[in-house]
């Protein structure tokens, strides 16, 4: 195998990021293994086995090369530990870029750490907005977008949000005069759904285990704290 010419650090920490990283890591492994070397850093933001390890096992993601094990804590404490750990990894090894997903504290920490030492930032799911600054995730995604060299909005809506915020003016300049690039990439979660649907259909026993009939139920996921922490907001 010839020497790889691109070395990337993928930062994950929360369950959704682990799932999203599966799509990109799979593509690198299958189609770019001779050109790209990927190393994975797990911040430990989600550390319970059911929130973390099970997804590595079932989605076939390579084991993390680095695990910061930061655990829980206030936003400031947790993010500070992540910044320190990510910066240490980035300074001890040479990376051509850092891949960040979504809008968690791990995303924010990766963006801050990489930007300070001039490592290019590639933000997957850029441009997504709730327009609710009371959400910590909204702050994280906006900051990460501002610091990113290449932004990957999954949809035209994401692109339009970036346009409204002035990203198309390309006024930002990074190390060596590099400007920004914006690429509509599609949704990595959709890619995963298409890839894993046949596997789930073959292996899943949830229908029989729960006594469900085809088309006889509604699946709903509710995780935002302002929905789950207030009984009045839950459907009766």
How many domains are there within the chain? 1
pLDDT in tens, 5-59: 899 999 999 888 988 999 999 999 999 999 999 999 999 875 555 455 666 677 7
Residue 36 lies in a domain: yes
Alpha-carbon distance of 181 to 150, in angstroms, equals 5
Domain containing 23 — which CATH number? 3.40.50.2000
Residue 139 lies in a domain: yes
The pLDDT of residue 16? 86
Q: How many residues can be counted in the chain? A: 236
Give the residues across from 66 on adjacent strands. 41
Alpha-carbon distance of 17 to 119, in angstroms, equals 20
pLDDT band at 71 (very low <50, low <70, confident <90, very high): confident
Residue 181 lies in a domain: yes
Quote the pTM value.
Answer: 0.87
pLDDT in tens, 134-156: 999 999 999 999 999 999 999 99
Identify the domain containing residue 174 by its residue range.
Answer: 6-191
Active site residue 123: no
Residue 229 lies in a domain: no
Residue 73 lies in a domain: yes
Query: Which member of 42, 46, 94, 223 is catalytic?
Result: 223
**Among 192, 147, 152, which Cα is nearest to 15's?**
192
If DSSP codes are grouped into helix, strand and coil, which group holds residue 31? helix
The pLDDT of residue 1? 41
Residue 165 lies in a domain: yes
Sign of the dihedral through C-alpha 138, 54, 196, 12: positive
DSSP string, 103-163: TSHHHHHHHHHHHHTT--EEEETTT-----TTSHHHHHHHHHHHH-SEEE-SSHHHHHHHH
Cα 93 to Cα 68, 101, 137, distances in angstroms: 16, 21, 29
Residue 187 lies in a domain: yes
pLDDT in tens, 109-119: 999 999 999 99
Residue 107 lies in a domain: yes
């Amino acid at each position: 195998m010839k020497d790889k010419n691109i070395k990337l650090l993928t930062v994950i920490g929360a369950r959704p990021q682990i799932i999203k990283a599966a799509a990109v890591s799979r593509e690198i492994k299958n189609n770019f293994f001779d050109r790209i070397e990927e190393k994975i850093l797990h911040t430990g933001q989600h550390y319970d086995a059911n929130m973390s390890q099970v997804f590595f096992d079932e989605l076939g993601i390579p084991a993390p090369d680095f695990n910061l094990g930061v655990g829980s804590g206030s936003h400031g404490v947790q993010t500070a530990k992540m910044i320190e750990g990510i910066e240490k990894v980035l300074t001890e090894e040479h990376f051509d870029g850092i891949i960040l997903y979504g809008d968690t504290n791990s995303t924010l920490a990766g963006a801050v750490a990489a930007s300070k030492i001039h490592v290019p930032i590639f933000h997957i799911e850029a441009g997504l907005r709730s327009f609710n600054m009371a959400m910590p995730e909204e702050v994280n995604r906006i900051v990460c977008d501002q610091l990113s060299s290449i932004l990957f909005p999954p949809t035209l809506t994401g692109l339009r949000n970036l346009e409204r915020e002035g990203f198309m003016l390309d006024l930002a300049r990074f190390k060596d005069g590099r400007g920004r690039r914006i690429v509509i990439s599609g949704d990595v979660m959709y890619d995963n759904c298409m890839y894993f649907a046949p596997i789930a259909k073959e292996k899943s026993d949830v229908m029989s285990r729960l006594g469900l009939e085809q088309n006889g139920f509604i699946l709903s996921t509710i995780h935002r704290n302002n929905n789950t922490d207030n009984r009045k907001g839950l459907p009766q």
